[in-house]
Amino acid sequence: MKAFVLKRYGDQAGMHAADLPDPQVGADDVLVEIHAASVNPLDHRIRNGDFKAFMPYRLPLVLGNDLAGTVVRVGPSVTRFAVGDEVYARPDKDRIGTFAELIAVHQNDLAHKPATLTMTEAASLPLVALTSWQALVERAQVQPGQKVLIHAGSGGVGTIALQLARYLGAHVATTASAANAALVKELGADIVIDYRAQDFEELVEGYDVVLDTLGGTTLEKSLRALKPGGKVISIAGPPDADFARELGANPFLRQVMNALSLKIRRQAKRRGVTYSFLFMKADGDQLRELARLVDAGAIRPVVDRVFPFEQTREAMEYAEKGRAKAGKVVIAMV
């Protein structure tokens, strides 16, 4: 099969097109012919080696964390899927590699593609939709009438999180550029804060939940927007000990992660709120629920641009340099 392979950590120069053997298919695996994949900040962070201390990938490595495609083979223990099914997935973190023509995915991490979407639209969803679900439904348990602040509402996660928060009945604020104000309002924002001209921490207060997608000073300022007992859930901030336990990390690595998040956790405690780091996980059941919401019209994908497979490196560069106006960058294999 053809794939784009990372041969060394670093910049784009470490990734090249290559011919690789077809994936092996285990008893619970589904072999998928990939029609489309999408680019996520996670791909750049893995490429740069940001996670190699606690998620050591063996190089050479095929990047890519989202897919939509067609089932071409199933393992003997597979019961949920058959050859010809149209599916979408975020593979498990240890089995990534969607910048390729084929991938083997465990049946528990796979779901039937939303019927109302094209392959390119479906490929834009799994990672950002699962992130939004696991932050707002699973961890924050957002209830109708609660106030939720979502940073970078026009980004990949933001465009889906806004729609999900609206579906859950929340009052939603978001940060975005003035150029994207109309889009994020359409997606579910009640309040739009122009991050270039306004300081969000001076305009919102008493919020129940903040979904932080930016980290840094934005994360620290977000604590001020919360009411006592509120929660900030970050996908860009420092990892914490709970994340280390989820990884099954050794005691030393747990201490390291605990130290990395000590400052923000102390700041949160002083304000009577909580901080937690979210690294989303593959989950086919959640993708099935999300597909139902998509087909019911509650959530729609936002795709900025589609690149052909042979321009995978260009797609990565386009996304990394922030050229996307809103939503996801997708790579079309077929």
Residues 268-326 pLDDT 10s: 999 999 999 999 999 999 999 999 999 999 999 999 999 999 999 999 999 999 888 99
Say if residue 247's pLDDT is above 90: no
Burial per residue of 228-250, b for 16 or more beta-carbon CB atoms within 10 angstroms, e otherwise: eebbbbbbbbbbbbebbeebebe
Helices 262-270 and 251-260 pack at an angle, to 10 degrees, of 50
Q: Are residues 172 and 216 in the same domain?
A: yes
Residue 306's contacts (CB-CB under 8 Å, 6 or more residues apart) are 36, 120, 329, 330, 331, 332
Predicted model pTM = 0.96
The answer as to whether 10 is a domain residue is yes
Q: Would you say residue 292 lies in a domain?
A: no
Q: How many domains does the chain have?
A: 2
Mean pLDDT of 11-33: 94
Q: Are residues 259 and 221 in the same domain?
A: yes
Mean pLDDT of 15-41: 97
Looking up residue 39, the CATH number of its domain turns out to be 3.90.180.10
- Domain co-membership, 99 together with 116: yes
166 shares its domain with 264: yes
Q: 48 and 188: one domain?
A: no
Q: What is the pLDDT of residue 334?
A: 77
User: At how many degrees (to 10) do helices 284-295 and 126-133 cross?
Assistant: 100
Q: What is the pLDDT of residue 51?
A: 82
- What mean pLDDT do residues 171-196 have? 97
Q: In the predicted model, what is the mean pLDDT of residues 64-70?
A: 98
User: Does residue 324 lie within any of the structural domains?
Assistant: yes
Q: Are 78 and 30 contacting, i.e. CB atoms less than 8 angstroms apart?
A: yes
pLDDT digits (tens, 9 = 90+) for 108-123: 999 999 999 999 999 9
Lowest mean pLDDT among 177-181, 240-244, 270-274: 240-244
Mean pLDDT value of segment 92-107: 97
* Alpha-carbon span 66 to 87, nearest angstrom: 11
Q: Would you say residue 270 lies in a domain?
A: yes
Question: Is residue 257 predicted with pLDDT exceeding 90?
Answer: no
Q: What CA–CA distance (Å, rounded) separates 226 from 200?
A: 12
Given this model, what pLDDT does residue 251 score? 84
Domain-embedded: residue 285: no
Query: Does residue 12 have a pLDDT over 80?
Result: no
146-161 per-position pLDDT tens digit? 999 999 999 999 999 9
Same domain, 105 and 151: no
Q: Which amino acid is it at 196?
A: R
Q: What is the CATH number of the domain that holds 174?
A: 3.40.50.720
* pLDDT (0 to 100) of residue 56: 77
User: How many whole angstroms separate alpha carbon 323 and alpha carbon 73?
Assistant: 37
On average, the pLDDT of the chain sits at 95
**pLDDT confidence of 61, banded at 50, 70, 90?**
very high
Whether the bond between 308 and the residue before it is cis, its omega within 30 degrees of 0, is: no
The reply to whether 289 falls in a domain is no
Q: Which residue has the higher pLDDT, 118 or 56?
A: 118
Beta pairing partners, 330:
38, 306
Which pLDDT does position 60 carry in this prediction? 93
117 with 52, same domain? yes
Residue 325 CA to residue 304 CA, distance in Å, equals 7
Confirm whether 137 is domain-assigned.
yes
Residues 89 and 107 in one domain: yes
If asked whether residues 317 and 259 sit together in one domain, one would say no
Q: What is the pLDDT of residue 323?
A: 84
Can you give the pLDDT at residue 224? 97
**CA separation for the pair 50, 52 (Å, rounded):** 6
Pair 143, 261 in one domain: yes
Question: Where is pLDDT greater, at 56 or 20?
Answer: 20
pLDDT value of residue 249: 77
Domain range enclosing 321: 2-125+301-332
Instruction: For residues 95 and 139, state if they share a domain.
Output: no
pLDDT of residue 54: 74
Q: Is residue 286 part of a domain?
A: no
Q: Residue 258: what pLDDT?
A: 86
CA 110 to chain centre: 16
Name beta bridge partners: 74. 30
Average pLDDT over residues 238-255: 84
pLDDT class of 176 with cuts at 50, 70, 90: very high
